[in-house]
Amino acid sequence: MTAATVVELLGLLDGVGIEAWLDGGWAVDAALEAQLRPHDDLDLVVRLSDVETLVGVLASHGYEHVHGTAPGSVELVDPDGRQVDVHPVVFRPNGDGAYVMEGGEIWIYPASGFSGLGVVSGHEVRCLTPEVQMLCHTGYEPHRSSYDDVWALGRRFGLSVPDEYRSPRETYPVRTD
């Protein structure tokens, strides 16, 4: 998933009135205003009510719905293998976004997280705030790219790194390239 493709897809969605917030690796890179690593997918948070339209728009551009159904996550892939993971939310009156995870648990994206802005390939984009991105990186066994993402966010924005990323950090040294 290239930066150019991210910008193109966000433009398509904006063109039909769908607000989408970057999540995952591209959200980290947008907040840092630099691409730190290659990405195999694009994670988007969108309103549940926009999922059907989003699937239709991406289908008209070669993406096929391959997994999941709303209100849970939905995965789409194009013929070149570029994957879009859609995380539908229902906004509560206080602005929190409620997302139905696999297994039926509800994950809450705090309202404050939707005020994030970042830059991808010179284009301003909506993304989850760095604080909420840190929150999204908790609750699972970290992998290499998660370590790099979390430490980069912590350094740039002065955020506390969650405990699960403090050890064994030496196993996953932060990349400097």
Please tell me the number of Cα atoms within 13 Å of 169 on its side-chain side: 14
| Per-residue pLDDT tens digits for 62-104 | 999 999 999 999 999 999 999 999 999 999 999 999 999 988 9
CATH T-level fold of 3-171: Beta Polymerase; domain 2 (3.30.460)
State the distance between the two ends of the chain, measured CA to CA, in whole angstroms: 19
The pTM is what? 0.91
The residue extents of the domains of the chain are: 3-171
Burial class from Cβ neighbours inside 10 Å (0-12, 13-18, 19+) for residue 61 reads exposed
DSSP 127: B
Q: Which two tokens stand for residue 72?
A: 């849970």
Nearest to 107 by CA among 71, 142, 83, 148: 71
| Per-residue pLDDT tens digits for 98-149 | 999 988 999 999 999 999 999 999 999 999 999 999 999 887 777 778 888 9
